[in-house]
Structure 1
């Protein structure tokens, strides 16, 4: 044990030096903005800086063709940030945000047409379009046109994420969540609740689409799939779902570590057939397992296996969940709250923002992670509990949510830098590679860290739930992981 402690101390010391090296480039910037709650923990080889602060609940973000960063400030509208022309992480916002659309109903969704001339955004009830000009900081040049309506109101989950396909021009994906934690309306496909649909907005007339009645169904039984992404290599559509709170199974409350959050595959818009497309993903009766050992009456359930909530009966049981509902492609720890998923341009990585927990005694999430992809699918198996590699985390998650950044929206700029909004702190961050090169081009073979070199914090074991805690440092696998960590750290 003494040898172990000595080795651990050496590794931690090296880790602190390695982590500090990822932020050293900030000293060469002409100006810096101090993060509201201290410098994040960052994986070796990466750098994170604050680009802008003082915003009001920044959520969805996107760059226009002129390099302006458009930000949805929840409860206010859409604003534009003009950025400096610095390279790397030294980029900063110049001056105050410029109003593009002032509308307090806009709360999350934002998109731009391929030619940059049309701006799209969503309220709880509708999707709108404006003519847009990106010159001189950006401005809208028309009143709003309603493209899709009848999506609900202010009940429950009110964000309506929108994503314009880059594979199939004119197809707009829209996600609507549930109206409550356990929403019986989601049992009826006709309600449009907990559903992802696609709409051809290239031929919209004066008559707006009705969300529940029209559009191409990509999936239903999806509690609250806030993040939607399109793999650029294949056109595969993925979402990341926030699963249910206060979960009970056969009279036992197991909500601390179950059910898991989900990454779901929904098929394609380009005509490629997929058996998953348009099917039911389980909510509100079936969910993905995370901490298998805590699930009562567990019959060969693995991580990611669909299992029934509450008491099993003839219409609500594990057999139905596993045979008739679509299981997630990947599962993440319970209550991490994924809110966005953005692929890099070559389809080798999907970046995911985890907003963080509230329905858990010990906080979890509050970080930016990445999942390796190949040929339109994650490289990790469906039952993996280590697929997400942490790049940026809060150094002390026990202080969350009150004293932490909370990731929301993600966007790439033309230099391959990744930008991230934090609604709780009113900040925009930029994530870059520490030794140069495009973050967008980084892949498992050319710049993404392994799990051994990912960002760490005092609550790192929580990222894999209680299963990781049960496989603690007393086992041989921990020795191997610690040695791998030491070998991965740079020599000083």
Structure 2
């Protein structure tokens, strides 16, 4: 029996596994559930589905709208809590996804911070953003302290889309990329570059003066006509810059409602900071042109997935031609309204992890999951018109319960020191998950889930009795060709303490 207690921030872990092999399922579940993870943290909603070839654990709860996340030089997590500041989480790390929070410390107390966070390569300078400004601090990871706050970039305030994503290039040192979204669903002012909305820019932070950069007029323009590109990443092998864009809601074309399946969300390519400038500074279409996901729209003609098209009130044959010929098309297009919020690459550049926060503008919810896109030679493997580029890793078991009773992924951090382990925040539930490829966790070799638009695996949950030499009692069986295993756990509350026993 184990006694579980602690503050509102959960210090335990729930182990989740899925696989298509009985032997691998039994060995992985047992290793995840044995003495390495002494306690269990259970989500308040139906446990997520984990794709074959991956393991996942819930490692923290009780956070206040966690958004951006990163790993410092000592292996601690730094997390932006929207509306409150940055928290430092010292981890107790048993290896793989068996991680718990040992100590939580408020690092920056600032209610204006809402999403963006970045750390210099040497780990000594911290960056974060509000809706209007980008700040920096000297950061001491050993002392868990910051000092010397500076304002680097300013004049970014607008309504509606207020996240200001930050990315510090590793291929072109000292260039800090900042993404700013639109001020409304369809923002006519974003068509004027001087307004500085729906734009990604890069700023040289090695020569910042006492006067901060002016976002609308300064910096290197990487792209505009980007409605709300919250996720921005640098492909680690070639240095190519990619963003994932949240497209528009409530769309009509030629008087017909097409909002359920159009427009698609976009992955856009912005060239290289260290080389070719293909597409760099180009216009990606917003607010006049959008990417097609479902061809079932009026006057679709020869349009295919990923082609730019014109909705009302701009719709006309001539405007459609302009959308196709005059703007930069997306590199990939995703199902409408899934709301991609972050993109992070594995160190070898073979996979891009993407968080899909989830829809509100669809009758049937979409998104609410962590997925991957396969890359090779610095570009997505799939063609621009693909509808199957996304492979799901961690998804909600019942999206009909979303958004109220499910996780909503936001920020990602990849721990290169531990086999590519991924940390993921969920803002609506105040949680952090740890995810890792099962083969990496068990053997140190790579592996991945199969491509799927619906999850690709059956959930296996395993828990422990809390003693380092106690093996759990696993109940195993098969459902639809998949193995499932679960430990039966009894819970009892006595005097505010929770007792758990396996039987």
Tell me which interval the TM-score lies in, with the shorter structure as reference length.
0.7 to 0.9
Measure, in 2, the Cα distance between the counterparts of 1:18 and 1:254. Answer: 47
Q: CA deviation at 1:438?
A: 9.0
Q: Equivalent residue of 1:351, what SS?
A: strand
Q: Unaligned 5+ residue runs, structure 2?
A: 1-17, 459-478, 486-503
Q: CA deviation at 1:89?
A: 1.2
1:188 to 184, 192, 206: 192
Q: Deviations over 1:306-330 (max 9, x none)?
A: 0001155679611000000111000
Q: Equivalent residue of 2:439, what SS?
A: coil
Measure, in 1, the Cα distance between the counterparts of 2:406 and 2:231. Answer: 21
Q: CA deviation at 1:32?
A: 2.3
8 Å CA contact retained: 2:425, 2:433: yes
2:136 to 118, 126, 129: 129
Change (3 A) 1:315 1:283: farther
Q: For residue 339 of structure 2, what is the aligned residue in structure 1? A: 337
Q: Equivalent residue of 1:179, what SS?
A: coil
Q: CA deviation at 1:150?
A: 0.5
Measure, in 2, the Cα distance between the counterparts of 1:19 and 1:214. Answer: 54
Change (3 A) 1:334 1:173: same
2:156 to 151, 155, 171: 151
8 Å CA contact retained: 2:341, 2:356: yes
Question: Are 1:168 and 2:168 an aligned pair?
Answer: no
Q: For residue 403 of structure 1, what is the aligned residue in structure 2? A: 405
Q: CA deviation at 1:185?
A: 0.8
Change (3 A) 1:88 1:318: same
Change (3 A) 1:185 1:312: closer
Q: For residue 70 of structure 2, what is the aligned residue in structure 1? A: 62
Q: CA deviation at 1:37?
A: 1.4
Measure, in 2, the Cα distance between the counterparts of 1:216 and 1:126. Answer: 17
8 Å CA contact retained: 1:224, 1:243: yes
Question: Are 1:73 and 2:81 an aligned pair?
Answer: yes
Q: For residue 230 of structure 1, what is the aligned residue in structure 2? A: 234
8 Å CA contact retained: 1:19, 1:43: no
Aligned length: 443
Q: For residue 396 of structure 2, what is the aligned residue in structure 1? A: 394
Q: For residue 207 of structure 2, what is the aligned residue in structure 1? A: 203
Q: For residue 102 of structure 2, what is the aligned residue in structure 1? A: 94
Higher RCO structure (Cα 8 Å, ≥6 apart): 2
Q: For residue 118 of structure 2, what is the aligned residue in structure 1? A: 111
Change (3 A) 1:342 1:151: same
8 Å CA contact retained: 2:134, 2:154: yes
Q: For residue 365 of structure 1, what is the aligned residue in structure 2? A: 367
8 Å CA contact retained: 2:388, 2:452: no
Question: Are 1:295 and 2:300 an aligned pair?
Answer: no
Q: Equivalent residue of 1:93, what SS?
A: strand
Q: Equivalent residue of 2:324, what SS?
A: helix
Change (3 A) 1:452 1:323: closer
- TM-score, normalising length from structure 2? 0.84
Measure, in 1, the Cα distance between the counterparts of 2:117 and 2:156. Answer: 16
Q: CA deviation at 1:434?
A: 2.2
Q: CA deviation at 1:63?
A: 0.6
Listed as ranges, the matches of 1:44-63 within 5 Å are 44-63=52-71
1:84 to 72, 79, 92: 92
Change (3 A) 1:249 1:447: same
With 169-178 and 428-437 compared, the bigger mean Cα shift is at: 428-437
Listed as ranges, the matches of 1:302-381 within 5 Å are 302-312=304-314, 317-381=319-383
Change (3 A) 1:17 1:252: farther
Structure having the higher strand fraction is 2
Q: CA deviation at 1:405?
A: 0.2
8 Å CA contact retained: 1:396, 1:457: no
Question: Are 1:286 and 2:255 an aligned pair?
Answer: no
Change (3 A) 1:349 1:295: same
Change (3 A) 1:16 1:283: farther
Q: Unaligned 5+ residue runs, structure 1?
A: 1-12, 459-484
Q: For residue 277 of structure 1, what is the aligned residue in structure 2? A: 280
Q: CA deviation at 1:64?
A: 0.6
